[in-house]
Structure 1
Amino acid sequence: MLTERQLLILQTIIDDFIESAQPVGSRVISKKENITFSAATIRNVMADLEDMELLEKTHSSSGRVPSEKGYRYYVDHVIGPSIHFQEVDVIKHMIQDGFFEFEQIVQMSAQVLSDLTNYTSIILGPEVNETKLKQIQLVPLSVQTAVAILVTNTGHVEHRSFTIPEGVSTADLEKMVNILNERLYEVPIVQLSNRLNTEIHLLMKKYIRNSEQLFDYLKVVLSHDDSVKLYIGGKSNMLIQPEFQNVDKVHSFYSMLENEEAIANLLKNKHNGLNVSIGNENKVEAIKNFSLITANYQLGNKQGGTIGLIGPTRMEYKKVITLLNALSSEMTDALYIWYKNNQ
């Protein structure tokens, strides 16, 4: 453990560097109101912290910058209990005021988080294998075409157009929709294909004319892919950060943002609660120069997702951790109400 003096100097350097993005020297520290040590004492403490690998000396300055180990110590031992930021109230009011659907809540949360931090926010929706079909609606657009509207228990809504086969009447379409809503209600999305090929197929043969042609279209309409539901806010925010103004430095990061599976894998296997991964603690090469902080939220009793925030290792950890904890709690509360109202 560090001495009180070492801890104070380390915290001062990290707080200053987070704000300025400039190496911190003993003279800058000596001018702080809460520092009463001489410049010589400060230099000695800084040298000790460097020997402990908590600080690093840059080539261009006599000042020091935090190392990844220093940030880890700061997160684990220096940051105190979360204090109340005004931004927490912003999150609370924006989530509580006027939301309608699950996806709107999540999209809004991702945008608010990125706006408040100037980092990139990523929110992972509930796992698709936990998502169930709630309702199917059919809206004819013309004699030949219609749009099927699929609504899940998470509030996800999809619109899929298809061609109405010749000889299929409006009455036949209504029968099909009634069969689907009666037999597929609360069926997990991943099980739809199996139910279609067995029970639904037999019922359509029995009650609907020209059912084979219509069934072929139906299989396409109700097919699902395994793509995850991702909501990203502030994709370009990383270019605001001084350390990433060279686009080449973040090329692999932006390439990763185009790959939904890669992004989802960043968040999927995180432990419950709040997790902080700093620099090389991240296993994915594209974010080894970044910090990733994640927290979980719940939808109803079982389903849940993950909130993630990616920024430089020079991240405002205290603010970000407070905001993520607040957002996790507010999303869980808001989605609980939404979930109960939509059962």
Structure 2
Amino acid sequence: MLTNRQLQILQVIVDDFVTSAQPVGSRQISKKDWITFSPATIRNEMADLEELGFLEKTHTSSGRVPSEKGYRFYVDHLLQPQIMSADEVTQIHSMFKTQIVEAEQLIRESANILSELTTYTTILLGPDVQKHKVKRFQIVPLSEQSAVAIIVTDNGHVENRLLTLPPAFSPSDIEKMVNILNERLIGVSLHDLHRKLEVEALAVLKQHVRTADDVIQSLIGISSGQNEGKIYYGGKTNMLNQPEFHDLNKVRMLMELMEKESQLQSLFKPNNTGIQIRIGSENNHLAMENCSVITASFLVGEEQHGSIAIIGPTRMDYQRVVTILDIMSRGLTNALSQRND
């Protein structure tokens, strides 16, 4: 267990290194108003903290920087949420008061605001699209031979598919089909849409529309996407502004990871509710060994959920990010739940 003096020194080193990105020395610590012990005592304590694995010594300075173990201890035992300015709180809350109808647009805007407020990269994983339920079905003719089938879900998600219409498929046929599909499909999840189309809707449609079979076979592919939520980015290149990522190889690996959506799904989806923090090697990915990831989940109604991930260097401003993420996740949950009612 660390002594109170060691706890104070560790906290000062983490806080100062987060701000300056420069190693912290004993003289710098001794100048703090609340530090009452001498530089010599501080140096001894820093040496002990280094021996215990909480600090590391750089090659270019006599100062110390936090180790991954040091950050983990800081996050678990010393972290205090930051008090945000009234303007920043207003900026977040004002977004939820705007007349944004579609959930996807609200999530996209949230990603942008988070990246602006934190200066880090934001990734939002939207709710599992396959759990969305059909709210409205439309077929919009483009010509005598083609049309666009559109499905709008209860969360504002839109799926569409270009259809080839059979010869002599009349506007009245389209109208009959749309009416039947809306009668049979409203409230059905995209996950169950294939089965409903094949088992229930097709039989009814054949009774009323002579050439419905060909059109239905095209419609069956309308929700054939992966059973995963959409990914929204904010400040995708913000990491390039961090001194830790002036190494082009580190940047390349991180940018390549950003393009692999399946890996992002598993990396950044929280295991449970609440704020979670993974530091460096805890991310179990080479591209993320110099990064920290802070995640939180948000709800859409009673069943669906998405997640927010803030990616920054291990020298992340944990206090600020945790506070912003907590406000944003609760705000998103409230806003999306209201839109889902």
Is TM (by shorter chain) over 0.5? Answer: yes
Taking the aligned partners of 1:199 and 1:171, their CA distance within structure 2 comes to 21
Please name the residue that 2:278 is paired with.
277
Counterparts of 1:107 and 1:121, CA distance in 2: 10
Question: Which moved further from structure 2: 56-65 or 25-34?
Answer: 25-34
2:122 is the alignment partner of 1:133: no
C-alpha displacement of 1:81: 4.7
Contact 1:95/1:109 (8 A) holds in 2: no
Residue deviations 1:202-225, cap 9 Å, x none? 112111022232223322345444
| Partner residue, 2:80 | 80
- SS of the equivalent of 2:138 reads strand
Measure, in 2, the Cα distance between the counterparts of 1:165 and 1:199: 21
Cα deviation, 1:74-131, whole Å, max 9, x if unaligned, reads 1111112553444233111122223221011100001100111111111111123422
CA contact under 8 A between 1:125 and 1:229: conserved in structure 2? yes
1:202-217 alignment runs, 5 A limit: 202-217=203-218
2:266 pairs with 1:265: yes
CA contact under 8 A between 2:136 and 2:152: conserved in structure 1? Answer: yes
Q: Which moved more, 1:181-190 or 1:125-134?
A: 125-134
Cα deviation for residue 317 of structure 1 reads 0.1
Summarize the Cα distance change of 1:222–1:174 in structure 2 as closer, same or farther, 3 Å threshold: farther
SS in 1 for 2:35: coil
Q: In the alignment, what sits opposite 1:300?
A: 301
8 A contact 1:180–1:200 mirrored in 2: yes
* Matched-pair contact (CA < 8 Å) for 2:269–2:295: no
CA distance in 1 between counterparts of 2:50 and 2:255 reads 33
**200-209 or 28-37: bigger deviation:** 28-37
Find the counterpart in structure 2 of residue 71 from structure 1. 71
Q: Please give the alpha-carbon distance, in whole angstroms, between the structure 2 residues aligned to 1:223 and 1:73.
A: 45
Taking the aligned partners of 1:85 and 1:48, their CA distance within structure 2 comes to: 37
Kindly provide the amino acid, as one letter, of the partner of residue 101 in structure 1.
E
Q: 2:168 — aligned with what? A: 167
RMSD: 1.6
Q: Deviations over 1:215-258 (max 9, x none)?
A: 23322345444353111111101100001012211222111111
2-side partners of 1:26 and 1:205: how far apart?
82
CA distance in 2, matches of 1:199, 1:96: 41
Question: Partner residue of 1:60?
Answer: 60
How much has 1:330 moved relative to structure 2?
0.6
Q: Identify the residue that residue 106 of structure 1 maps to in structure 2.
A: 107
Distance (Å, rounded) in 1 between the aligned partners of 2:131 and 2:222: 20
What residue is the counterpart of 1:39 in the other structure?
39
Number of residues paired by the alignment?
A: 340
Change (3 A) 1:51 1:222: closer
SS at match of 1:262: helix
Q: Which residue in 2 is equivalent to 1:7?
A: 7
Q: Does the 8 A contact of 1:162 with 1:221 survive in 2?
A: no
Partner of 1:25: 25
Structure 2 CA distance for aligned equivalents of residues 241 and 286 of structure 1: 15
Kept after mapping to 1: 8 A contact 2:185/2:193 = yes
Cα contact 1:131–1:189 (8 A) shared by 2:
yes
Deviation of 1:269 (Å): 4.9
Supply the distance in 2 between the matched residues of 1:300 and 1:215 (Cα, whole angstroms). Answer: 31
| AA partner of residue 74 (structure 2) | Y
Q: CA deviation at 1:176?
A: 0.8
Q: For the residues of structure 2 that align with 1:209 and 1:328, how far apart are their CA atoms?
A: 50
Per mean C-alpha deviation after superposition, the further-off stretch among 10-19 and 138-147 is 138-147
Identity %: 50
> Bigger CA drift: 96-105 or 77-86?
77-86
* Structure 1 equivalent of residue 329 of structure 2: 328
